[in-house]
Every structure is written in C-alpha cells, then in structure tokens.
Amino acid sequence: MPTLPKDELLQHGPELPMAERVRRYQHNIRTIRSSGCAVPSSAYVDTLDPVAIEMWFLDSAERRHRLKAAVQALRLAAAGLRGRLSRRPFRPSLRRRGPGRRAALRPLAVGQTACGSNSRMM
C-alpha cells in the first residue's frame, strides 16, 4: 500500500513569492502522484496548471479571511451578550398577554362575532 511521502513535501506558505509557491506546489503534486497515492483533495487541488494553482491560493486566502472575520464577529457578539447577561439576566414574564387560550375556547354569545364586537350584525 503506498504511503504519502510527507518528508519529501515542500512548504508553500504565504510568506513566499507566488511564483515560488506555485513551483513548490507543483513539486508536491508530482511527488504525491509518483508515490502512487491519490492527491488529497481536501488539502490540494489536483492540477499542475499554474493559473489554477494561483487561483486556488487566492481562493484559500479569501476563505481564511472570511472565516477569521466570522470568528471575530462571533467573539465580539458573545462578549457583548455576556456583558448584557451579567447585568440583568433574562426572565420571561409569567403574566399573560392578550385574552389567552381560555378566551378562544369560550362559545360566542348570540350576535357576537369572533372579533368580539356586535357592531356589524345582520
């Protein structure tokens, strides 16, 4: 069974120039293919086309940025929520609002409409 050659793979991080990143990425794809393993699609796009690889890098950077912004927004929302809850906890009102269920089950009087007014009798 073929094994992934992790010791032969090159780093291709954002600190490198784009041309070097693409070259190292292509090297990694060739190395994985030559070992007989399938290219892990969750980590790599399975292509040697430099334009597609560059687009994959840009898309990944955008996705990381969006996720980082979403996590930051959730943290801020959680911090604000924690601040509000510590001041006064939410307690639902036990008082009924409106006529309630019992009023809906009462039979209508003669001439009374479902709205409760007798103004439009026929």
pLDDT, one tens digit per residue, over 37-46 is 888 887 888 8
64-107 confidence digits (pLDDT tens): 899 999 998 888 888 776 655 555 555 555 555 555 555 555 56
Q: What's the confidence (pLDDT) of residue 14?
A: 86
CA pair distance 80, 22, nearest whole angstrom:
43
Residues in contact with 86: Cβ distance below 8 Å, sequence separation at least 6, in sequence order: none
What is the full DSSP assignment across the chain?
A: -----GGGPPP--TTS-HHHHHHHHHHHHHHHHHTTPPP-TTT--S---HHHHHHHHHHHHHHHHHHHHHHHHHHHHHHHHHHHHHHS------S--SSHHHHHHSPPPTT--TTS--TT--
pTM of the shown model: 0.56
